[in-house]
Amino acid sequence: MPFIKIDDHEIEVDAGRRVLDIATELGIKIPHYCYHQALSSPANCRMCLVEQVGAPKLMPSCATRVFPAPPNRKTTIDGKEYDAVFYTASPVVKEAQESIMEFLLINHPLDCPWCDQAGECRLQDYSYEYGKGHSRYKEEKRTFPKKKLGPNVLLYTNRCIMCTRCIRFCEEITGTDELMVSERGGKAQIDIYSEDKPLDNPLATCVTDICPVGALVSQDFLYKPRVWNYTRKESVCGMCASNCNISVDTKQNLIYRIKPRENQQVNSFWMCDNGRLGYNRWQNDVDRLETPMVRRNGHLEPVSWEEAYDAIKNGLKSFRNTEIAGIASPYSTNEENYLFQKLMANAFKSDQISYATGATWEAWEAKKSPFKISEFKSPNYFGAKDVIGNRHKGEIIEKISKIQVKALYWVGGNLDQRLTDGERDALQKLQFLVVQDVWLSPITEYANVVLPATNYYEKEGTFTNASHILQWVHPVVNLMDDMKPEWLIFIELAKRLGGSLGYTDIKNVTRDMLANTPAYKHIKPADIGSQGIQTRR
Ligand code: SF4
Ligand code: SF4
Ligand code: FES
């Protein structure tokens, strides 16, 4: 193992590691633009230059790897021998950093006051930390018009520093190769190869995350409030069963932006555009259910929670327990499905419970990285299977068709809910139907009682993804006034029906759900952590 020194730190490291990575782990900050952990390192920005003792010139730390030096090439400092010695903030390094910053800014429009990257821009940060504070460049700056590279991404070429991260992302991660450098020298610019092949791959907007300056911006985030005005919360995406890790920027209980959060087991550094932009549908397009409703004279009318609970209690009391069934949801958390199962067992004395599959879409895999978009559009299809057991809703629908089941409690959550003809026929035969859903869906058409459900931006608990990794889900927005968390609905309803579930908070539900689910019984809540836990050993 090479024994090296970086500034005042002495360390033995694995051979072949990059100086920039080692320094970062030691807490030494080396400024850099073109290097990204997930991409190749062309060493073209020169911002990460460091001084290596004995080397004839400064070295790019992103492309300099350490190896054991032969005995005659060791570096001796104060009588101690090293395989290599680096200085990251010596006078010659600082002078180089100032020059690089001056060079990168010669054509920059200095339009920070209206640039969407302001506040999280490396050009701004490094100008302040490593720049000269003035420029000797008096010539006219080159200018280019802004350009739409694809449906979700805009390019402001004037701000580009030609680090080529965006090109390498399309080559090395998605394998879709939409971007290139066109022209040469001072005219060089990022572009798509042809108008027929726009930047529209499923992960396209990730280029705006890795662009270190404000050159590539998300169309969705254009001219929104400044980044320092948001509250940032962490959760996982619920738009499919991949459960990518996300950071959500909110202001006044509205979502303004979703960005991927690193989790090497789940989504690496990336997320798809559907997951990133899907909040718009919930926030702008869906007529959400906000209050409980009871059918009176053929119409669903808003009622209080107490009236809705009483309507369920009275509606179900005439049925034998073998005539009552429940359909759990792949859009619910593991905790909600666990409580729903307990509600069915304790309050309704019914073990007839199954789960719906939810919507599906076309799965997608990046050509050159392990990133996958799951075919299941529901976030917790795999968790529902683990918690409820492998019982599909078809069995229950068949029993309803045969009039063996006469009362049903269906937990929905699917914005793309469709019913088959067989399901419609079956629902018409029911004598009593309770539906818990996020909107007035095709199922609620047949409901006697409707309870408002939450979406994955509002839930608290856990999801299990397509790779069987169980992760925390945190609410990123508050519930609307009359709504309740669904875990609380099940607890309150059980109490009203005389079958208390014995919980007052969600933490104890997670603990018991893990302990009583065969696939999770080896897991404790503290094991889950910020990166989740693999449930299959
Ligand atoms: S657009 Fe951004 S990521 Fe692409 S080369 Fe320019 S600065 Fe780098
Ligand atoms: S792949 Fe799935 S979980 Fe990941 S961001 Fe896209 S929709 Fe969300
Ligand atoms: S980060 Fe090393 S040369 Fe760009």
Q: Read out DSSP for 55-107?
A: -SS-EETTT-B--PPPGGG-EEETTEEESEEEESSSHHHHHHHHHHHHHHTTT
Distance 40 CA to ligand 3 centre (A): 11
**Closest-lying ligand 2 atom to the alpha carbon of residue 372:** 1
Q: Identify the pLDDT of residue 286.
A: 85
Burial 152-175 (b: 16+ CB within 10 A, else e): bbbbbbbbbbbbbbbbbbbbbbbe
Residue 444 pLDDT grade (very low, low, confident, very high; cuts 50, 70, 90): very high
Q: What is the pLDDT of residues 134-153, one digit of tens each?
A: 889 888 998 999 999 999 99
Q: What is the CATH number of the domain that holds 158?
A: 3.30.70.20
Q: Is the beta carbon of 34 within 6 A of some atom in ligand 3?
A: yes
Do 175 and 322 share a domain, yes or no? Answer: no
Atom 4 of ligand 2: nearest residue by CA position: 244
Q: Is residue 221 domain-resident?
A: yes
Q: What is the CATH number of the domain that holds 78?
A: 3.10.20.740
* Pairwise CA distance, residues 469 & 464, whole Å: 5
Do 92 and 193 share a domain, yes or no? Answer: no
Do 75 and 141 share a domain, yes or no? Answer: no
Q: Identify the pLDDT of residue 384.
A: 97
Please report, for residues 1, 109, 153, 181, 224, the alpha-carbon distance to residue 51 in angstroms, rounded to integers and kept in the order given: 21, 31, 38, 30, 42
Q: Identify the pLDDT of residue 185.
A: 87
Atom 2 of ligand 2: nearest residue by CA position: 240
Q: Is residue 356 domain-resident?
A: yes
Q: What is the average pLDDT value for the chain, to the nearest integer?
A: 96
Domain count, the chain: 3
Q: What is the pLDDT of residues 357-413, one digit of tens each?
A: 999 999 999 988 899 999 999 999 999 999 999 787 889 999 999 999 999 999 999
Do 311 and 424 share a domain, yes or no? Answer: yes
Do 407 and 352 share a domain, yes or no? Answer: yes
Residue that terminates a domain, selected from 227, 242, 277: 227
Do 443 and 374 share a domain, yes or no? Answer: yes
Query: Which range marks the domain in which residue 87 is found?
Result: 3-98
Do 301 and 216 share a domain, yes or no? Answer: no
Distance 167 CA to ligand 1 centre (A): 8
Do 373 and 482 share a domain, yes or no? Answer: yes
Atom 1 of ligand 2: nearest residue by CA position: 373
**Closest-lying ligand 1 atom to the alpha carbon of residue 207:** 3
Q: Is the beta carbon of 60 within 6 A of some atom in ligand 2?
A: no
Q: Is residue 488 domain-resident?
A: yes
Q: Identify the pLDDT of residue 334.
A: 98
Instruction: Starting from the CA of residue 155, give the closest ligand.
Output: 1
Residue that terminates a domain, selected from 227, 250, 267: 227
- What's the average model confidence in pLDDT over 303-313? 97
Distance 88 CA to ligand 3 centre (A): 13
Distance 216 CA to ligand 1 centre (A): 7
Q: Is the beta carbon of 60 within 6 A of some atom in ligand 3?
A: yes
Do 216 and 295 share a domain, yes or no? Answer: no
Q: Is the beta carbon of 243 within 6 A of some atom in ligand 2?
A: yes
Q: Is residue 240 domain-resident?
A: no
Atom 6 of ligand 1: nearest residue by CA position: 160
Query: Is this complex scored with an ipTM above 0.90?
Result: yes
Residue that terminates a domain, selected from 174, 196, 227: 227
Distance 163 CA to ligand 3 centre (A): 8
Q: Is residue 122 domain-resident?
A: no
Q: Is residue 91 domain-resident?
A: yes
Q: Is the beta carbon of 202 within 6 A of some atom in ligand 2?
A: no
Do 304 and 197 share a domain, yes or no? Answer: no
Q: What is the CATH number of the domain that holds 302?
A: 3.40.50.740
Do 88 and 193 share a domain, yes or no? Answer: no
Q: Is the beta carbon of 272 within 6 A of some atom in ligand 2?
A: yes
- On the CB side of 239, CA atoms within 13 Å amount to 22
Q: Is residue 511 domain-resident?
A: yes
Do 154 and 84 share a domain, yes or no? Answer: no
Q: Is residue 112 domain-resident?
A: no
Is residue 511 within a helix (H) or strand (E), and if so which, with residue range? helix 506-516
- What's the average model confidence in pLDDT over 7-30? 97
